[in-house]
């Protein structure tokens, strides 16, 4: 069996003459936590959009969860979860209603949604606010809920686009515990982030600079390669060229 859940080869996205993503090539293994790093405007989000099937690549090859991004975008969508930079639950729906809605659009049977909803609320300790509008929750809770909702259909891969923007270190730590748990359960995690300390939590990281992947390895090896004390230094060395 093929253990590579994402295979990308020479993937390119052109906007006019500008190559937002310039022939990137990488692979992600099943169950891996793959950090996708880069400065703002380096092309992270564009690359991710191609992988999740809402942007058509200009050139190259990409296979996600066993499906081709050019021809099988609909199949890909059934097998992935996605959490965007913007907090994306409905504020005017309750916690339970949000869970039911997202479970519903992924086609989970009603019974399964009920079980999932109960388990999820318990796991996140949201029993008291389960019937409250999401608007009333603190940002950190919303983000954890948002992540749990994005993997409600047990996807093969979950794509997280800067999921921890604007939350405190403790919540970020808790958030990463959720990510580890998902990874432990066999879900591959593809995460973009600005926080270099988070990069250390990843199994492997790639660093994008100006549309190209300039480095790709485990955090440990990258630090050795660039002779840096931490990922932050690695990043700075790369970004400055």
Partner 1 sequence: MKRFIGFIKKEFYHIFRDKRSLFILFGMPIAQILLFGFAITNEINNVDIAILDHSKDATTKEIIAKIAASEYFSIKQIIEKESDIESIFKKGKVKAVLNFEKDFSKNLIKENKASIQIITDATDPNTANTISNFVNAILQKYQKQLNKKITIVYQIIPESRMIYNTELKSVYMFVPGVMTIILMLVSAMMTSISITREKELGTMEILLVSPLKPIQVIIGKVFPYIFLSIINAIVIVLLSIFIFKMPVQGSLFLLGLESVLFIISALALGILISTVSETQQTAMMISLMGLMLPVILLSGFIFPISSMPFPLQVISNIIPAKWFIIIIKAIMLKGVGLQFVWKETLILLGMTVFFIALSVKKYKIRLE
Bridge partners for 215 per DSSP: 207
Round to whole Å and give the CA distance between 189 and 168: 21
Sign (positive or negative) of CA dihedral 204, 192, 166, 122: negative
Closest approach of partner 1 to the CB of residue 190, in Å? 13
Q: Is 26 in the site for partner 1 (CB under 8 A)?
A: no
Q: Is 80 in the site for partner 1 (CB under 8 A)?
A: yes
Of 54, 59, 119, 236, which lies in the binding site for partner 1, with binding defined by CB under 8 A?
54
Phi, psi of 99 (to 5 degrees): -60, -45
Q: Which is nearer to partner 1, 84 or 171 (CB)?
A: 84
Q: Could you say which residues in the range 103-122 bind partner 1, by CB under 8 A?
A: 104-107
Of 17, 86, 170, 227, which lies in the binding site for partner 1, with binding defined by CB under 8 A?
86
Q: Spell out the residues 6+ positions from residue 41 whose beta carbon is closer than 8 angstroms to its own.
A: none
Beta strand residue intervals within 86-175, DSSP E: 157-161
Q: State the angle between helix axes of 139-150 and 169-184 in degrees (0 to 180), rounded to the nearest 10.
A: 10
Q: Could you say which residues in the range 163-222 bind partner 1, by CB under 8 A?
A: none
Q: For residue 130, give the 3-state DSSP assignment.
A: coil
Of 22, 33, 64, 77, which lies in the binding site for partner 1, with binding defined by CB under 8 A?
77
Closest approach of partner 1 to the CB of residue 17, in Å? 17
Of 34, 36, 82, 176, which lies in the binding site for partner 1, with binding defined by CB under 8 A?
82
Residues that bind partner 1 (CB under 8 A): 52-56, 74, 77-78, 80, 82-93, 97, 100-102, 104-107, 133, 150
């Amino acid at each position: 069996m093929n253990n590579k859940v994402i295979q990308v080869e020479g993937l390119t996205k052109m906007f006019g003459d500008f190559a937002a993503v310039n022939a990137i090539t990488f692979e992600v293994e099943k169950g891996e936590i793959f950090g996708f790093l880069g400065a703002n405007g380096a092309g992270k989000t564009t690359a991710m959009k191609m992988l999740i099937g809402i942007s058509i690549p200009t050139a190259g090859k990409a296979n996600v969860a066993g499906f081709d991004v050019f021809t099988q975008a609909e199949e890909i969508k059934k097998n992935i979860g996605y959490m965007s930079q913007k907090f994306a639950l409905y504020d005017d729906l309750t916690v339970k209603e949000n869970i039911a809605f997202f479970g519903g659009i992924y086609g989970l049977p009603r019974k399964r949604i009920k079980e999932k909803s109960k388990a999820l609320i318990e796991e996140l300790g949201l029993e008291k606010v389960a019937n409250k509008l999401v608007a009333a929750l603190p940002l950190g809770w919303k983000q954890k809920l948002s992540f749990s909702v994005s993997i409600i259909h047990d996807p093969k891969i979950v794509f997280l686009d800067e999921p921890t923007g604007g939350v405190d270190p403790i919540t970020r730590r808790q958030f990463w515990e959720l990510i580890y748990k998902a990874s432990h359960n066999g879900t591959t995690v593809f995460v973009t982030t600005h926080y270099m300390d988070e990069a250390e939590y990843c199994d492997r990281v790639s660093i994008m600079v100006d549309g190209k992947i300039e480095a790709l390895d485990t955090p440990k090896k990258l630090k050795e390669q660039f002779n840096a004390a931490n990922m932050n230094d690695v990043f700075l060395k790369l970004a400055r060229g």
